[in-house]
Structure 1
Amino acid sequence: MNRKMRMGLKLAIERIYLSFRNYFMRHPVKVYITSSVICFIVLAIVQIMLVYNTYDLLNRRFYYEKKGRINERYTKAIINDHVFPGGKDIIENLLSPQYHELERLYKAGDTAGFNHASQLLLRNIFNTLIDKQNADALLRDIKFKEGIQDSLKYLLVVSRIDLQFADPKYVNIYDKRNKYPLIDAHIQTAKGIRIFGDLTNPDEQSQIIGLFVSDPKPYTYAISFSLYADPANRRQVVFKQMQGILTMSLLSVLAIIILFFITLRNWIKQKHIADVKTDFINNITHEFHTPLSAIMVANKNIQNERVLENKTAIRSLSDIIERQSQRLKLLIGQVLDIATVDQLYVQKGPEDLNILISEILTDFSIKFPSDNLQLSFVPAPATIIVDTDSFHFTTLLLNLLDNAVKYNLQEVKHIQVAVVEMDTDIQISISDNGIGMDKETIRYIFDKFYRNQKDLTQNAKGLGLGLHYVKQCIDAHQWTVRVESEPGMGSTFVIIIPK
């Protein structure tokens, strides 16, 4: 790889890294959740594979402990016999008359004729064995005598038959590996011709008997047959053996899911706290910087010789220092007060709600010109007396009114306050035509120091303490608040006072 190619590859990697980092900075929660879900899926796949491999291993090593007793009994029952008691006579009676004809076809090289004749013979033998089999009765008797209570499935199959003519060489006429068109397809299985039973998946662990019987004399035959037996609930037995592994696997996955959600929740919470802290520091720095700068400039001007000779100028600068000092004191007081607002104490007394709200609105409207603010009040038709702390209630309402003006870009700001008496409560609604809020913002507006730093609100001054104070006042009064808002459609705060 030459130097130019290496530089190109390095630049491509750097671009990918920067793109990922920028995307992560913009959508950290989404990246965290996506990567965690991918890791969890990989882990789940690994767990499933491990559980499956364990099941497959136990299934392959499964051993039915009672099959030895069945083997012993069944073997004794078919001594000097084939397949099942009486099976040897059935096979010999059907096969003996056909030996010479099959030998003639075989020695004549008539392969098609030999195959056709041998398949017809096999079909007759197998069908007769199936019709006259007594293996089911024998196995029931064995289970009874051995006291075996398990529900078992069986499979009795013939897997190979060879013929011996005058020559000592065996000639195969049936092999389980081949398919024979003249023999019924439904009795042909991978293990051989099904004589009896309903076991569908026999394996080495379920084999009871596997015999190859031959008689090395002219005009005889050799036969291979097997008996399989397996519990009907073998799968459940294997899963029971895996109970500990399955339990630990499920518990570990569940624990990972729980830890993931706890970690995600705490991480989002910590991120939110960090963001709020950053916003608060930025805001408080800006808020403190303004009065401090004014005080420093006024103080520097006072030190000017020309200004010292002008009493009017000194008076003006002194007033500036006093006003800005008071503003600075007020800011510090707000921060200190909000630190203990979680234990807000209220002294309730009876107040006429219509009159109290009307007085608050009158004082508030004086600060704004009438052509810039339209403030309306819809009182309740009848007098409503509520128990409230008038000082905290006034501060609460003023904070909501200040926000209705602060977060409003309209030339004429409309604010409506209404009092409605319901059957079970009294509702005070404060509605505006401001910028509104989305659902994500509404979730956090009552948090301490929270401010939604959008393009529309980033120039609005404040510490993010007003609505937190509102919530604490409402909680201290044992009231509730509901917020209804949409971006660009204004906001409505509804204070609900139980009767």
Structure 2
Amino acid sequence: MRTSDFNEVVLRINDLQKDNVEHGSVTVSAGYDADGHSLVTQQTISYTDSTRQDTIHSRTETSVDTVKTVGNDPEAVASSESGLDVLLKKQDSLKELLISIQQGIHSGVDAYIDVNLQRYDSLLTHVMKEHNLSIPHHTLLIYTGTRADSSIIYIDTLGMAGDSSYIPSPKAIRFDYEFNRHRSQRYQLIFEPIDSLVLKQMTGILVTSFVILLILGFSFWFLIRTLLKQKTLDEMKSDFTNNITHELKTPIAVAYAANDALLNFNQAEEKSKRDQYLRISQEQLQRLSGLVEQILSMGMERRKTFRLHPEEINLKELITPLVEQHQLKADKPVHISLDMKPETLVIVADRTHFSNIISNLIDNAVKYSKEEAELSIYCRQIGETVTIRVTDRGIGIPLDKQKHIFDKFYRVPTGNLHNIKGYGLGLFYVKSMVEKHGGTITVKSEPDKGSTFTITL
């Protein structure tokens, strides 16, 4: 407000300079007294009018720190020898001195030309915009009438500028600026609290901060998720290593023992013993070959050159021999029921890989059953869709492990106990081949109640 007032006074002085008429002169002197404690200001106005040519009106106002008194001491003006030292020591003193000079000039110019409130409001609005305060406001010019003892007689509004549509609320903020030495006139700026405006101006910063927080939150979540996933992968790796080591050592050890018996204990001379040991060695080598083939199948499945060889397959003719094989080789009683409609259900698939799919599901159901395995295989064709379900009443799969059972090398963790053989490749192979056939596979399981694997083609 003080800056706008100074600019308004300068513009009025420019207006006076453009007028060829000689109006008079204004002299303003300000300084500190001899003690350097009191601010003294003298203002002299002279007129060129013939009747007032020699008339001098002066008023001296003395300030002692923050307490201001009025007196008549023209000789004290600018007579301080230590005034400059005071200004250099206290910046507030310099500010107070400049304000006194500005008020003195203001009062002098007011004697020749009235305050232009509209111009002042325009200058004030410009300054407010420079400080990002583009808000509706009113600017008032107020006159205060006082008695000789400075008690207020009345207050009058001499003018109003600003936004005509703006109506101040009871919460409106008011700022006063007294611009003359007599404190009889002041500007009053009225506008609403700027809390909402500040928030509006900070919208960009707040939104940016919120986005950064979201990014940081997402990054933190992703990091935690990655660490947990890494921990799960480590568990899978450890479990797989334990199991695959055991699975590789067992057939090697058995085949080595059989071969050692033939070479070192004269077992080759007896044909029945020789055939028995050779058959044992062959079975163990087949186990190793099966493991190698499954691992190679996983590698081949990822190659772009991998191709299925689809053909029409009678599903019952495919499944029935698999059921008989698993019943014969199992080391526990196995009961498998086959429910197929129609009996002549035919699908188009790769015979070798689809046979492995069903065999793996039956093998898992038998291995993870309890003392006696009970399985049911359900096959239906509805329209163009074929559904195959393999259900067992085995140990089941915990809910938190079900999402991993189709992962490569994953087996439900059982610590270092290896009473159930496997490589963690079977279900990964099943899922991969089912998807290669354009189908899907899902699992539904409850611990101690069993599992159901559903293939949809």
Letter in 2 for 1:405: V
Q: Distance in 2 between matches of 1:246 and 1:229?
A: 28
Distance 1:315 1:391, change over 3 A: closer
Residue in structure 2 matching 1:488, options 442, 445, 448? 448
Q: Note if 1:74 corresponds to 2:93.
A: no
Distance 1:150 1:362, change over 3 A: farther
Distance 1:341 1:378, change over 3 A: same
Higher share in strand: 2
Query: How far apart are residue 227 of structure 1 and its match?
Result: 6.0
Query: How far apart are residue 463 of structure 1 and its match?
Result: 0.4
Q: Is the 8 A contact 1:152 1:230 kept in 2?
A: no
Q: Note if 1:479 corresponds to 2:442.
A: no
Distance 1:291 1:214, change over 3 A: same
Q: Is the 8 A contact 1:415 1:432 kept in 2?
A: yes
Q: Distance in 1 between matches of 2:271 and 2:321?
A: 40
Q: Distance in 2 between matches of 1:263 and 1:365?
A: 48
Question: Counterpart in 2 of 1:374?
Answer: 335
Query: How far apart are residue 323 of structure 1 and its match?
Result: 3.4
**Aligned pairs (5 A) from 1:64-463:** 70=139, 73-75=140-142, 78-80=143-145, 89=153, 141-143=160-162, 148=163, 151=166, 153=168, 198-199=170-171, 202=173, 207-209=175-177, 229-231=190-192, 234-302=194-262, 304=264, 316-343=276-303, 345-368=307-330, 372-381=333-342, 383-409=344-370, 411-423=371-383, 425-454=385-414, 458-463=418-423
Unaligned runs of 5+ in 1: 1-61, 92-133, 154-196, 216-222
Query: How far apart are residue 303 of structure 1 and its match?
Result: 5.0
Q: Is the 8 A contact 1:430 1:493 kept in 2?
A: yes
Q: Distance in 2 between matches of 1:270 and 1:390?
A: 37
Query: How far apart are residue 214 of structure 1 and its match?
Result: 11
Letter in 2 for 1:366: L
Identity percentage of aligned residues: 29
Letter in 1 for 2:325: D
Q: Distance in 1 between matches of 2:205 and 2:260?
A: 79
Q: Is the 8 A contact 1:429 1:493 kept in 2?
A: yes
Query: How far apart are residue 289 of structure 1 and its match?
Result: 0.8
Letter in 1 for 2:289: K
Q: Distance in 1 between matches of 2:329 and 2:260?
A: 31
Q: Distance in 2 between matches of 1:465 and 1:275?
A: 16
Q: Distance in 2 between matches of 1:384 and 1:317?
A: 43
The Cα RMSD (Å) is 3.9
Q: How many residues align?
A: 323
Q: Once the two structures are superposed, what CA deviation does each residue of 1:181-206 show, in whole Å capped at 9, x if it has no partner? A: xxxxxxxxxxxxxxxx6026x5xxx5
Higher Rg of the two aligned structures: 2
Q: Distance in 2 between matches of 1:488 and 1:209?
A: 86
Q: Distance in 1 between matches of 2:315 and 2:268?
A: 53
Question: Counterpart in 2 of 1:19?
Answer: none
Q: Distance in 2 between matches of 1:294 and 1:229?
A: 99
Query: How far apart are residue 386 of structure 1 and its match?
Result: 1.7
Distance 1:368 1:428, change over 3 A: same
Higher share in helix: 1
Query: How far apart are residue 311 of structure 1 and its match?
Result: 6.9
Q: Distance in 1 between matches of 2:385 and 2:270?
A: 62
Query: How far apart are residue 244 of structure 1 and its match?
Result: 4.4
Q: Distance in 2 between matches of 1:242 and 1:290?
A: 71
Unaligned runs of 5+ in 2: 1-130
Distance 1:150 1:360, change over 3 A: farther
